[in-house]
Amino acid sequence: MTDRMKRNLSTSGRVLLLAAYLLLVILPIYWMMATSLKPHTEIIDAQNLTYFPQAITGENYDQLFSMYNYGSMLKNSVIISGSTAIVITLLSILGGYAFARYEFRGKGSMLMFFLLTQMIPGILVIIPLYVIFANAGLINKRFSLFIYYLVVNLPFCVITMRSFFERIPYTLEEAAFVDGCTRWQGLFKIILPIMFPGIVAVFVFAFIGSWNELIAGTIFISTSDMWTVPVGLKSLIGKYDVKWGVLMAGGVLALLPTAIMFAVMQRFVVEGLTAGAVKG
């Protein structure tokens, strides 16, 4: 086999693989979108499954906003998840840097503690927090969710950030120190720019982690005008029936912010910003 044939073979294999995977991803999403465009009677018609909406309708999207106040849910979710993600990113840069670049007493046990926080079942954290928030008057305030999402996502993000730091050779910084840079300058001028894809990734992780959280959302929030998107969508599941169309419409629209972020993120992560920088 010539090299060329080999390459062709591997290319076509790759294309096939990517296409198959795309199909697997798209089918459920397509099904959601199709459902969101059907009237309720068509959706629940058990004798007649339609793969394309017979009568395309926008009523589900319309109801989502006019009856269920989706706009306010989006607003709450964006404020809470956005602010959580910003603060988490800043704090994990600091924490991740320390874990990656220093040897210090208690490092192992601290890491273990971080992991431990990921193991404790969430409900055992929510109840004591609820009591504290209630006494501080924070119930039904976005702030309570902000704090909760901050602490539950932090350990993961710090550890992830650490692994991003660790991929950057220490020699880079050393070279900078030799050139007379301080540690801070080393961090800000040399490392962070290279790290940028990682930072963006951590931001997105933190954002998605808070964006989709449901249990704390139902516990800490008590009025529908403060509901986040998942809580609002959950309310579409009644005792006897599910508003499938509206729910799917809400699910599809809830993807928008993250989809935009992915589009932005892939520019950084994908275009291989780091590759060149590390090389130099």
Work out whether 56 is an interface residue with other proteins (CB under 8 A): no
Closer residue to other proteins in complex, CB, 32/57: 32
Question: Does 113 engage in binding with other proteins (CB under 8 A)?
Answer: yes
Sole binder of other proteins in the list 14, 58, 189, 193 (CB under 8 A): 14
Residues 164-183 that bind other proteins (CB under 8 A): 164, 166-169, 182-183
> What region does 52 belong to: left with phi over 0, alpha with psi -120 to 50, or beta?
beta
The one among 33, 59, 65, 159 contacting other proteins by CB under 8 A:
159
Question: Residue length, the chain?
Answer: 280
- Residue from 9, 56, 175, 278 that binds other proteins (CB under 8 A)? 278
What number of other Cβ atoms are within 10 A of residue 26's Cβ? 11
Residues 191 to 220 in contact with other proteins, rule: CB under 8 A: 197-198, 201, 208, 211-212, 214-215, 218-219
55 contributes a contact to other proteins by CB under 8 A = no
Q: Which parts of 122-151 interact with other proteins (CB under 8 A)?
A: 122-131, 134, 136-143, 146-148, 150-151
Cβ–Cβ under 8 Å, residues 159 and 92: no
- Cβ at position 128, least distance to other proteins in Å: 5
Q: Which of residues 233-272 bind other proteins (CB under 8 A)?
A: 233-235, 237-242, 244, 247-248, 251, 254-255, 258-259, 262-263, 265-267, 269-270, 272
What b-and-e string marks burial along 92-118, b requiring 16 or more CB atoms within 10 Å of the CB?
Answer: bbebbbebbbeeeeeeeeeeeebeeee
The torsion of the CA quartet 145, 156, 200, 20, rounded to 10 degrees, works out to: -110
Q: Of 58 and 244, which CB lies nearer to other proteins in the complex structure? A: 244
With respect to other proteins, which residue has the nearer C-beta, 8 or 163?
A: 163
Per CB under 8 A, 61 contacts other proteins: no
- The answer to whether the beta carbons of residues 83 and 150 sit under 8 Å apart is no
Least spacing, CB of residue 228 vs other proteins, in Å: 10
Task: State the number of binding residues for other proteins (CB under 8 A).
Answer: 138
37, 73, 74, 80: which one contacts other proteins (CB under 8 A)? 80
* Distances from the Cα of 65 to the Cα of 149, 189, 248, angstroms: 26, 46, 13
Distance of closest approach, residue 207 Cβ to other proteins, in angstroms: 9
d(C-alpha 194, C-alpha 56), whole Å:
48
Burial classification of residue 180, based on how many CB atoms lie within 10 Å of its CB (0-12 exposed, 13-18 middle, 19 or more buried):
exposed
Among positions 1, 5, 49, 178, the unique one binding other proteins when judged by CB under 8 A: 49
DSSP class of residue 55 equals S
Of residues 60, 89, 204, 197, the one with CA closest to residue 150: 89
